[in-house]
Amino acid sequence: LALKNSMGGKCSRCPYKEEVRILHFHHLRDKKFNIGAYKLYSLDALIEEAKKCILLCPNCHALEHLHV
């Protein structure tokens, strides 16, 4: 939750900001691991991986993958 808040706490594509917990990390490049597996990695590794991501609400995330 703190990592999502540090990244703005809202969707990067639409105005959604109601519930930070449902936002998804969407990788833009060089994905090494899924941030959802956060218990397996150090905080430093998570921060570095998050730098490669944007936050998207579930709807925008689904649409992003439809366009790929």
List pLDDT tens digits, range 3-33: 999 999 999 999 999 999 999 999 999 999 9
Predicted model pTM: 0.88
The pLDDT of residue 68 is above 70: no
3-state secondary structure 17-52: CCCHHHCEEEECCCCCCCHHHHHHCCHHHHHHHHCC
Q: What is the predicted pLDDT for the residue at 1?
A: 87
pLDDT value at residue 18: 97
Q: What is the pLDDT of residues 36-58, one digit of tens each?
A: 888 899 999 999 999 999 999 99
Q: Residues 59-65: what's their mean pLDDT?
A: 96
